Homo-oligomer: A and B are copies of this chain.
Amino acid sequence: MKILRTIPKNDGFYMPAEFEPHYGCVMIWPERGDSWQYGGYAARKAFIRAACVIARSERLTVLASEAQYNNARAMLPENIRVAELSTDDSWARDTAPTFLTNGKIIRGVDWGFNAWGGLVDGLYFPWERDRQLARKLCDLYDTDVYDMRDFILEGGSIHSNGKGTILTTEECLLSTGRNPHMTKSEIEQRLKDALGAEKVIWLPNGIYNDETNGHVDNICAFVSETDVVLAWTDDESDPQFERSSACLEVLQSSVTAGGEKINVHKLPLPSPVLITEDECDGLDTMDGLPTRTPNERLAASYVNFYISNDAVVMPFFCDKNDEPAHKILQGLFPTREVVGIYARDILIGGGNFHCLTQQIISP
């Protein structure tokens, strides 16, 4: 593994869209007791179901700690590779490398990672295993790696249309816990250089009460070069209404790097999901304090889906909008089976299927 300090864009590398062909995918076995109910036990069912759907059409590797390796290996089918590797949590989207290609080979980007805000408003401390993960994975996959550790970024805060356009949110990328020493235009330039892009579309914010400081991957995603889905509610009394409306406004007045209009498909949100007291009781404390409080609203969104080669894995919440959202996505992905998986226990962990996965693109 070579560690590169050149600029990917100058080297001819760019980030393909998630809907382009994948070689494989990485996930991380849930275990952390202050994130996951019952030390991950509650989330396993949904995790395994998602893994099995993904592994139908991609080479899936699930990382597991030394302590959980045997258990993960026993619970996952044999077509899924399990690799022992230490992490601080399971959010492969944010801690695994972002893979780039020049059309011939792939390279990883090793972003700086500080647990979604470091000492300002990060979610745990320390985060050293997670910080190291991207580079370890590049070595494991025999890809060279761009050293971008001086720039804090999580994979969940960007989407690429594969043709030079990056979607992100101001709420996250301009947060004080990430790169406060950089201006918006410096950050934009960094994204373009790192992802081989021409244009960054800045949505103002993400989902209400999203502890990632509003990752874009929970509110808006490319489903084609010119089409996005946007998490939506018609309920004007919901604080999300204003947020989604602000994003819609930006999207409607933006064009892609190719100069094309963006088609926005509204994806209804589920009714607000509030964590119960019983669910909170299943979580470990952190430094003696609870990590969630009863009736806290979780950042539930159908947009947090993963696009595999032959499927789209989307979260279900036992909500009246599960089916309507599924129908919309299925219409937008006619060549893939859109699979809804009940994911309340994943949501309690702090994200959903997109957060749990990182695609390894085909060169």
Known: A2-B78, A139-B81, A142-B81. A132 touches B86 (CB 8 A): no
- Which of A66-74, A155-163, A307-315 forms part of the interface with chain B? A66-74
Distance of A73 Cα from B134 Cα, bound (Å): 14
Instruction: Tell me the complex Cα distance, A70–B86, Å.
Output: 13
Counted per complex, copies of this chain come to 2
Tell me, yes or no, whether A3 is within 8 Å of chain B by CB.
yes
A136 within 8 A of B: yes
Contact with B along A1-39 (1 / 0, CB 8 A): 111000000000000000000000000000000000000
Asked if A129 is at the interface of the complex by the 8 Å CB criterion, the answer is yes
Q: 1/0 contact trace for A62-85 toward B, CB 8 Å?
A: 000010011001000010011111
A289 part of interface (Cβ distance < 8 Å)? no
Residues of B within 8 A of A83 (CB): 136, 139-140
Chain A interface size range: 20 to 34
Q: Identify which of B69, B73, B82, B86 contacts A66 (C-beta below 8 A).
A: B86
Contact with B along A129-168 (1 / 0, CB 8 A): 1001001100110100000000000000000000000000
CA gap between A3 and B70 in the complex, in Å: 14
| Secondary structure dominating the interface of A | mixed
Most buried by B among A78, A81, A139: A139
Q: Which residues on the B side are within 8 Å of A2 (C-beta)? A: 78
| Chain B residues whose CB sits within 8 angstroms of the CB of A129 once the complex forms | 66
The answer to whether A1 and B81 have CB atoms under 8 Å apart is yes
Question: Which residue, of A83, A84, A136, A139, has the highest number of chain B Cβ atoms within 10 A?
Answer: A84
A86-B66 Cα distance, complex, nearest whole Å? 7
Query: Which residues of the other chain, B, contact A86 by a CB distance below 8 angstroms?
Result: 66, 84
Contact across chains for A140 and B85 when beta carbons are under 8 A apart: no
Can you name 15 A-B pairs with beta carbons within 8 Å? A1-B78, A1-B81, A2-B78, A3-B78, A66-B86, A66-B129, A69-B132, A69-B136, A70-B132, A73-B139, A81-B139, A81-B140, A83-B136, A84-B85, A84-B136
Residues in chain A within 8 A of chain B (CB atoms)? 1-3, 66, 69-70, 73, 78, 81-86, 129, 132, 135-136, 139-140, 142
A1-B81, A66-B86 known; 18 new pairs, CB 8 Å cut-off, are: A1-B78, A3-B78, A66-B129, A69-B132, A69-B136, A70-B132, A73-B135, A73-B139, A81-B139, A81-B140, A81-B142, A82-B139, A83-B136, A83-B139, A84-B84, A84-B85, A84-B86, A84-B136
Lowest 3 A-B CB distances belong to which pairs? A66-B86, A2-B78, A84-B85
